[in-house]
Every structure is written in structure tokens, then in C-alpha cells.
Structure 1
Amino acid sequence: MKIASALLCRASEKIYEKLVVRGVPASHDVCAIFDEASPERTVPCALFPLGEPRADERTLVAVSPIVDVPKASYAIAEYDEHGRLVQSVRRTIDYEAAKWTSRLNYKLRPEKCAEIRLFDEGRLSTLSEIVIRQIIPDQDMMIVRGSLRLPSAGEHDVRLACLDEHLMPAGAAFLNMGEHDDSSRASRHAGLLVHDFSVRLPISSGRLFFFGWDERHPGSYVCHELWPERKEELLNEMRHRYMSAGLDPYYAEWLRLKRPNLLEQELQRRCELPGAPSFSLVVPLFQTPANLFTEMVDSVRAQTYARWELVLVNASPENADLCSLVERACSDDERIRCVTLEKNLGISGNTNAGIERATGDFVAFLDHDDFIEPDTLFEYAQAVSEHPDTDLLYCDEDILDLDGVLKAPFFKPDLDVDLLRTKNYITHLLTIRRSLLAELEPSTPEFDGAQDHHMTLQAVERARRVTHVPRVLYHWRVCEGSSCGNPESKLYAVKAGILAVSEHLTRCGISARVEEGDYPFTYRVLYDVPQPEPLVSVVIPSCDHADVLRACIDSLVDKTTYQNYEIVVVENNSREQATFDYYESLPEATGGRARVVRWDGEGGFNYSKLINFGVRHARGEYLLLLNNDTVLITPEWMERFVGICAREEVGAAGALLYYPDDVIQHAGVVVTGAANHLFADMPRGNDGYFNLVTCQRQLSAVTAACMMVRRDAFERVGGFEEALAVSYNDVDFCLKLRDAGYVVVYTPEVRMYHHESLSRGHDEKLEEQARHIGEMALLRERWPMHYAKGDPYFSPNVRQEWPLSSWYHF
């Protein structure tokens, strides 16, 4: 193969070169390739035929981008009629020389230059394409996700490469995120193979060139040029999705619009609520700055609800300025009373002194440097009027920073005991019925720093009803020495918090170990496994893809530290001989733990039927439902799951799942709209809104890709709904558990990789999409009251549709 240049010109940041190729039989293909042996300085190239080929020669137009290097090259290959490589030739581009050659050609042969100039406009050099779908920021790196689309004919050997703006190899190895056919993009008879990929690259990368090709199909070579502008656009799109309410710079404006106006405040003052309760606000004072004291007192006096008293506990009797302010406040309003201590008794002792003087139906705890909204007590009183059995109230809160800006709102869930054990999320404005408060054990000095947590846990254990008012009514001030602004200032509180949670578990009769969590003032609760170890049945539906199932089971056998378990593989109409060969090897490979049961049902894939069938053949007291495209990360996974599910109130537990590129696939499910995975597509290490990714907590649902459930709970609710064949069956199952009085727990202590839909594929065809829509409608039809009331573990202040983000409801 001999290649000669007939003409060269530059236009639109590209080089166009007319090539004459001789010595290639007419039956052979000539195409551009990516030379893996020497990728450096390889410039992308697209080849287009110009005119009809002759017997002894053909004319091509090569189009390549102008890059910021002195010289670059590309490779052209010849393939025979059987697709075998005959030879390849590298051609070098000298960009400085090309500039002058182009200028000369435009002067001497302008018509010929016009013939090939912009020759690639509207033309396809290949049936393949690369699409960059998503770029996920991860500190100083970025995770680039995309797809290589190829004609889906025969066997494939997909290859990918990436070069930076200097045409040097960039990033780590490409990860295969799955392959599937996409006939809907072409026709029902001539579809595309979609190879999804992910690659990690420096976020500082400039211009990038992505190359993709199929070794088995000559001519499939394709390149995608990612410009910095497009990169930033995709990065910002993901940053926007990550911008939780805690980070949104427009939060203060939203809060201003949510506040009641003057007319509404006046109506609140005139409103007569049935069974109107009275409130005592207890505020321990210790060396309180004058301006903060005044703002706190003013916020209480501005309340639109009048039935309150403010109990000031002054533990700084030597502070004349503070004593004078307290005395003036008491004289100005008879509802303000003072308790002066002879000395500082610590936060617990000071608080107890205030509780003793409280006379209201409810006692609220307000910090001396914080303040509340004017309608706080009205909202609380209204909640009590609507639910007279309320014994504890709390609200949403935010932070006032050192610059006087309100930010970082914490939109809290309704009562969640598991989250409360992990962190004191209730915090402010904690308000407890005084009759219940009298029954609680007073906080002693060993609980200082966690006295509110200790009190809240006790109250929740006994309260008839805990009411969450989903309004931002409390403002927590950041100041020097506060635990909010400087967690290290109260390290002693961590030990007190561990003690508070440990004693709570003891009172509840729960055997567990409490450790310090990943973040300040968070805790890790590790529930003990019943003894002797109960049998766990791991139920894995599977169809072909023996390599996928092998990776899953090998990870279980190699890493699992729990001893008493079995593996039940539910065979679902496999066809490949490799699958059945693997089944034969399973008993020996797993030490007799694994066995295969064959489901011969008709009607296509039905996950619910497969699970129900597998459970009928399982022997375990605990059922661990698992997708075959998962790989274990945490060896103690069964211990963590069994410890949680052994609690009588727990119906199911779910895990933290990652995609193979260390991006979150599942950290629980919020059941809004239909259902959405929380924190999906966030990189590992980004722990989300108020670090909730790392918090063990209750949720409305978890995915059955990795879910443990006790057999008695599974059978009580009738297993999985078989009318939901593919989608939402796990959500429906979890809602059935909750309807029966169980709770569903998400735990980050169990982590796995999940190649989502790697074995089953994606819903691309019209009939599959129609089935998905029908199952969504059936889910909502089955649970109308849940969707009408809203998910109790997700704030009504935040948008309910995907993507879940910082866009608030107005």
C-alpha cells in the first residue's frame, strides 16, 4: 500500500488532506486505526472516500484536528475481505509545514482546496460513535462516563483509549460498565451494540481525545473530541445535582419567601387553638455576650403565640453586665424569669435547674447564643392541637455564620430511631411534654456535651407521639468555641455521646457495641448476632453470564467471615453451555454451600417470581436477596445484616452499593414520584447531605440488589408482588413491610459493587418501556396514601422528582 498526498489545506481548526492510495485490491478495506503499540502523538483521523475507486487506486480525504504539538501522526490500515490486517502505514503531520503548505495551496489551487475544505461536514466516516454522557467531579479528578456505539453484528472486541491535549495517554484504564443492544436507535432488525465505559482523568485536563474501535470489525474506529467548554458544562451539571440544600447559596432568599408576612403573623396572634398548650423555654446562660443575649430574648418576645415563659438560668453571677441584662429582661416582661446559680454546675446541672422552675405544658431547650423564628411556638402549638398525644416536638434548623448569613439548612426526616442512634439529628428546638420530662433520668455531668442526646433518647423511648414540624424555625449560631463552628472544642462530648447511645440500647434490651463514627458527634452501632449463628440463605437469581455469577460467588466465598450460610442460585432459563458447566462446579468451589434450583416458569423475566421461588427452596431463618452482578467489599456483611434484622421491629436491611467506578449506585431509596435512589452518581468519599451516606438510618425502601429480610417477615407480607415483574417490586415489598409495622434500615456498614443491569440489560425497547411505565402506575395505585402523605424519611421542603436536589418547594 502506497499513500501519496495530492493536496493539503487548513480550515475550521482542522487539516484536510487529499490522499491517493495505490496497490490495494478493490476487495480490501482502507481505514484509519488507533495504533495501540505507539499511542503517543497519535492524532484523530477520519477518512472519507472521494469519488469512485479505480482498479489500481482510490482517493480519500483525511480530516484531523489541529493540535498544540509540533508534529503528530495517524495510522491507515489495509484489511482483506476476511477482516484480517494486511498492513498499516503511519503518516506524520508537521503542523508548521502544514500551515505554509495550506497558504500556498489556497493561492495556487483555490478550487481544489474548496473541493475538500470542510469535507467532513454532514458526512459519517464510520457507523460508530462515542457519546460522553456524564462527568463526575471527584476532588482533583473527574470520572468521565460515556458510551461507544457500534453496529451489533457478530462477536466484539471493544477497545478504548484517551489522549490529552498534548497527544499523550491520559488517565487510568477504562472500566467496562456493561454492554447492551439498542435496536431502537437504528431499527428493530439492525441495532447497535452500546458499550458503556468509565475512566478517571485529572480534572485539570484540557482538550481530550477519546478513541474507540472494535478489533473484530475493521472500519469501526471513531474519535470524540472533548473540548474544555463541554467538559465544564458537564461538570457543572453534576455539581448542580450535588448542590444539596446545605450548599445552596440561594437558601436565605428561599427562607425569606417562606416566612409568614405581617398579616399572617397578626392572624396567628388572634388565632385561638383548641387545647392550646403552654411552653417553657429553658436557656442556660454562661458568660453570654450581650448582643447574643439580646437577640435571643428578642426572638422569644417576638413570638406570635403568647402562651410561653422564658426561664433564664444564669450560671455567671459574677458577670455584672450579664446580670444587668437579665434583670432588665425580667422587668420588661413578666413571662421572663431568672434562676441565678451560685456557680456554674455544667451544662447538665444548669439545664436541670431550669427544668425545675418550668411550669409550662411543654419544656423547650434554647441555647443562649441562638434564636428562633417568630412563628416557632405557634407552629408547635398548632401541631399539638392537631395531635394531642404529642409528647416530643422538633423542627428543621439552619446555621448563622460569622458573616451573618443564614445557610446550611437541615431538612430533617420524621422520627428515625436508627438515625438518632447514629447522630442527634433532632437537636433543635427539642421540646418535651413536662409530665414526660419528669419521668426521665436527669442528665449528670458524664453526659455533658451530649445531654440533649441523652434526654432525647430517653424521651423517644417513652413518647406516645414524636412530631416533626418541617419548617426552619431554629437558627444555630456559629461562634468561637461552639461545637457547630469547631467540633474539636467539645471532644469530650464524643465520649458522652457514646455513653448516651449505649445506655439507650441497654434500656431497650438491645445487645450492641457503640463506636465513634466517621464524623464528629456521630456513632457507629454494631448490633450483636444471635447465638448460635442463624442460617442465612443467599438467594441469587441468574441467567447465563457465568463469568458475572462466578465473580459474585467467588467474592462471597473468599471474603465472608460469617460461617453459617448457604447460597441458592435460581436458574432462570439459561442457554449457554458455560453456565451449566459452572453450575456443575459450584458445590466443590463453594465447599458445599451453593446449590442450583431451576425455575421453569414461562412469560419472560419476572424477578418477583424468581425471588419467591428461591425463598421456597431456601432453608435459612434469614434471607439475603442478592443480584448476580454484585461483588462483596465488606467481609463482615452478614454479621452487620443479621445483627440489624434480629431486632423485632426490623423487616429488611439494605446496603451501600457502588458502581465499578466507585460512584454511588444506591444509598437507600426515597419513595417519591415513584422511587429514586438517594445520592446516586456521587463519587465514593462524598458522603452527601449532612453526611447521611455514612449514617445508619431508616428509609421507606432499599433495593433488593442486596437486601436481608427475616423469613417470618417475608412470609407475613406474602413475599414479592409477582405483578411487578421487573421494576419497583423491592419498593412495593418494603412498603408492605412498613404497612405491617416493620421498619426498613439502610446501613453503610455493608458495601458492595453493583454492575447494575449488567446481566439483564436495560429497558430500551418500546415494549420494555411500556412495561416499566405500567409497573410504575401499579405501584402508585397500590400505595396512594403513601404518595399522598409523602415519604416520612424525606423532607417535604425539597423537590420530590429526580434528580433530587436543592430546588425547594414554595
Structure 2
Amino acid sequence: MTLTTHPSTSNTLSSEQPQVTIVVVPRERFSCARRSLESVFAHTQLPYKLIYVDGNSPAPVRRYLEQQAEAKGFQLLRTEYYLYPNQARNLGLSQVDTKYVVFLDNDVIVSPNWLTTLVQSAEETDAAVVGPLMCQYEPIHEIVHFAGGESHIWVDKTGRRRLREKMYDQGKPVAEVRDRLERTQTELAEFHCVLVRRSIFDQVGQLDEGMLNTKEHLDFCMSIRQAGGTVYFEPACIVTYVPGPPLKWSDLHFYMLRWSDAWTFASLMHLQKKWNLAEDSYFQTKYKKLQKGWRRKGTIIVPLVRFLTFGIGSGKLESLLIKPEQLLNQTLTTRHAKQQRQQQSATSPAPNLVSSPANH
């Protein structure tokens, strides 16, 4: 694995030893990276360390991150190829030496005192995992994406092991639900933003890289709870992830790979086999949606057709483009797998790291 680290200068904002390291990783695009990182700088009062995992960002973003690493004194890890989400998180995790680690996607906008609140919640509950009130879309902090949830295995009357997944209050206005939300133990937290007690990884091991691009949060939280750890929802902390179609041409390749059919299918199959789950309606529905390329259709094909038809749209043209897009997606996935095999065979098993973490 080829991995380069950007040398950085120490920029200690507090003499207090940080308890937490923020590990920022790519989610599905790079065009929100600057806004996300600057929200962290603006709204994080608690002392922290920062490790930024840059998985092959385009040149303007790469230069921005290098400039910020030098100016702010954080550790920048870069690969010259795109990363699976858990692969990126594990790269950052390997450098963490603090009591807590926060995994943060590069399209998340945080609010004032977000980190202080998460750490306080973990300290007061002894939780292994703490998730915030997660919002979605813009305007930020207004629409709930996730307010705790369920993720567990149950056995039906025929003896089949089945997965239960539920996200609470998704799509509801924050103003409508905020007063009734309270800190509570839950079964699920999402990787958009999550605080984890570092010592729990001594029990469960690193994040499962067989979960290539989806449902890795279910797998992780079930593993934590199986090991005796607790998961808490903390509504006093509010953050927002800003999804959307790839806003720049340079985002398109990564977005298509990140949500590729092959990666999604492999992730679902891995989850099913790992937890010995029946291929019930839960998986059947997801496999059917996958065959239709629903996510990329909505974020790539539909906007493209609207552009080509001057905003009118055309269902027939959308249908015609699905198959060519899926063939292109297969090509990108196959090429990425080949590149990774070549890089892994050409390099030593352990990355050559020159670490330069700094306190913030």
C-alpha cells in the first residue's frame, strides 16, 4: 500500500493534553471537504488531535489540505487511489493514541461545542460509542437524518436469523422533535459522525474492511454490543451531513466507485454471511434496488437528463442510459481492483509512515 504523510508543524492551541483524535475520511465526494474542515476549526473548543485521511482527492483539494496541514499542524495521510470507507478509517485509527477517536465524514458540518458534548456524554455514561443528533441536507441542522435507532438480529418462528434495522425520526424537522429527545442508550450510531472509546478496538479489532461501502455502521455497532460495549445517542450534539450529486466533474469518478454495484453487492453479501442471516425480504429488496442502480440513477443520470433536456426531463432517456452507466461502473470497479492488487504486490505489507501529529 502506497501511503504518504504530509509533514506538519506543531500548532498547540492548549497546554491541556487532548483526550480525543478526530479522523476525517472521504465519504462520496470532495467538493464539501473545505467547508466541512473549516466548520471543525471554527466550532471545536475542546483540545483535540486531527488526522485527515485524503484518499486521492483532486489537485485543488489536495493543495488546500496540504496548506492547512502546514498552517494548522495536523497529520495528513494521503493515498494516490480511492479508499473504501472502513479502509480509510483504519488508516487513521492506526495513528490514534488518545482515549477517544471521532470518525467524521468529509461532508459533515459541525455546530458549536459538538466535540465537548460528545466527550462529556461518553464520560458520564461510560459508553463505548456515542452518536450525535444527525441532520441532513441544507439549510443545515434543520432536518433529522438520524436520532438513534435499532440494529439487532432476531430469530423468526422458522429459526431463521434476520436483521432488524430502523432509524428514528428521519425526515422530521428538528424543531418538531428536539424537546422530546434525550440522551439514551440505543443500538445504532452512524459513521457520518461518531465518537468511539479507543480501548474497545482491543476487544473487537479494527473495522471490518469486508464491508466495502454500506451497512458498516450496523456491523460495527452490533460487534460493539456483542463485546459488551454500549451505544448512546446524544441529542445535545447536532451535526449535519450534506449529501448530494457530485457537484464537480472531479467528484464523479470517486462517487461512481464509492456507490458501485460491485462494492454494494459485496458488502451486503459479507454482512449476510458474517452474521449468518437469512436472505429474507430485507436483503431481497436491497438486491432489487441494486439491480436498478437506484442511487447513481438519482444523483447522476436524472440530473444529466434534465441538463440535456433543458430541465424538462425524460423517463425514456433515463432508462436508455441505465445500462451504459452500469457497464461503465463495472469498468471503473474492475480497474480499481486491479490497481489495488498491483500496489499491494509492489509494496511492503506495512505502510511507510512518517508521523507528525500535533495537538489542537
Residue matched to 1:300:
none
**Could you tell me how far apart the structure 1 residues matched to 2:77 and 2:84 are?**
16
Q: TM-score, normalised by structure 1?
A: 0.28
Partner of 1:560: 44
**Take 1:582 and 1:665, find their aligned partners in 2: how far apart are those partners?**
29
Residues 245-285 of structure 1: per-residue CA shift (max 9 Å, x gap): xxxxxxxxxxxxxxxxxxxxxxxxxxxxxxxxxxxxxxxxx
Please tell me whether the aligned partners of residues 552 and 632 of structure 1 are also in contact (alpha carbons under 8 angstroms).
yes
CA distance in 1, matches of 2:148, 2:121: 16
Aligned to 1:571: 54
For 1:621, which of 88, 99, 105 is the aligned residue? 99
The answer to whether the 8 Å contact 2:213/2:259 transfers is no
The reply to whether residue 666 of structure 1 matches residue 146 of structure 2 is yes
Which letter maps to 1:771? W
CA deviation map 1:593-613 (0-9, x unaligned): x2211235x6x5311111011
Conserved 8 A contact 1:700-1:744: yes
Q: In the alignment, residue 571 of structure 1 is paired with which amino acid? A: D
Deviations 1:476-516 (A, max 9, x none): xxxxxxxxxxxxxxxxxxxxxxxxxxxxxxxxxxxxxxxxx
- The Cα RMSD (Å) is 3.3
Change (3 A) 1:704 1:766: closer
1:551 is the counterpart of 2:35: yes
Q: Gapped runs of 5+ residues in structure 2?
A: 1-15, 153-162, 281-360
In structure 1, what is the Cα distance between the partners aligned to 2:232 and 2:24? 21
Alignment partners' CA distance in 2, 1:712 and 1:786: 32
Partners of 2:149 and 2:255 in 1: CA distance: 20
Q: Measured at CA, do residues 605 and 546 of structure 1 come closer, stay the same or move farther in structure 2, by a change above 3 Å?
A: closer
Moved more, 729-738 or 613-622: 613-622
Q: TM-score, normalised by structure 2?
A: 0.61
Instruction: Tell whether the 8 Å contact from 2:28 to 2:258 is kept in structure 1 after alignment.
Output: no
- Return the offset for 1:738: 0.5
- After TM superposition, the structure 1 stretch with the greater mean CA deviation from structure 2, 756-765 or 564-573, is 756-765
- Aligned equivalents of 1:733 and 1:539: distance in 2? 17
Q: Distance in 2 between matches of 1:786 and 1:737?
A: 22
| Greater per-residue helix proportion | 2
The offset of 1:743, in angstroms, is 0.5
Partner of 1:595: 75
| Partner in structure 1 of residue 5 of structure 2 | none
**Which structure: greater strand fraction?**
1
Name the counterpart of 1:415: none
Structure 1 stretches of 5 or more lacking a match?
1-531, 789-810
| Residue 170 (structure 2) pairs with residue 680 (structure 1) | yes
Task: Measure how far apart 1:777 and its partner are.
Answer: 3.7
Q: Which residue of 2 aligns with 1:749?
A: 236
**Paired residues, number:** 248
For the Cα contact (< 8 Å) 1:539–1:569, is it kept in 2?
Answer: yes
Of residues 66, 76, 88, the one that matches 1:610 is 88
Q: CA deviation at 1:779?
A: 2.1
Which amino acid in structure 1 is aligned with residue 271 of structure 2?
L
Shift of 1:649: 4.3
Equivalent runs, 1:4-403 vs 2, <5 Å: none
Which residue of 1 is the match for residue 270 of structure 2?
Answer: 778
Q: Does the Cα contact within 8 Å between 2:52 and 2:76 map onto a contact in 1?
A: yes
Structure-2 separation of matches of 1:714 and 1:758: 34
The structure-2 alpha-carbon separation of the partners of 1:542 and 1:766, relative to structure 1 and needing over 3 Å to count, comes to closer
> Contact between 2:212 and 2:264, CA under 8 Å: does it hold in 1?
no
Distance change (3 Å), C-alpha of 1:787 and 1:626: farther
Amino acid at match of 1:580: R
Residue 260 of structure 2 is aligned to residue 768 of structure 1: yes
- Whether contact under 8 Å (1:632, 1:752) holds in the other structure is yes
Q: How far apart, CA to CA, are the structure 2 residues paired with 1:755 and 1:740?
A: 32
Question: What is the DSSP-based 3-state SS (H/G/I as helix, E as strand, rest coil) of the residue aligned with 2:175?
Answer: coil
CA contact (8 A) 2:207 2:220 kept: yes
Separation in 2 of the partners of 1:545 and 1:584? 18
Larger Rg: 1
C-alpha distance in 2, partners of 1:767/1:565? 32
Contact 2:28–2:255 (CA<8 Å) still a contact in 1?
no
Q: Structure 1 segments of 4 or more deviating over 4 A?
A: 543-547, 757-767, 784-788
- Determine the structure 1 residue equivalent to 2:290: none
Pair 766,746 (structure 1): closer, same or farther in 2 beyond 3 Å: closer
Amino acid at match of 1:618: V
Measured at CA, do residues 758 and 623 of structure 1 come closer, stay the same or move farther in structure 2, by a change above 3 Å?
farther
Distance 1:628 1:557, change over 3 A: same
Confirm whether residue 535 of structure 1 aligns to residue 22 of structure 2: no
Q: Helix, strand or coil for the counterpart of 2:145?
A: strand
Contact kept, 8 Å, 1:552 with 1:631, in 2: the verdict is: yes
**C-alpha distance in structure 1 between counterparts of 2:17 and 2:117, whole Å:** 12
Distance 1:742 1:571, change over 3 A: same
* Residue 636 of structure 1 pairs with residue 113 of structure 2: yes
CA distance in 2 between counterparts of 1:647 and 1:533 reads 19
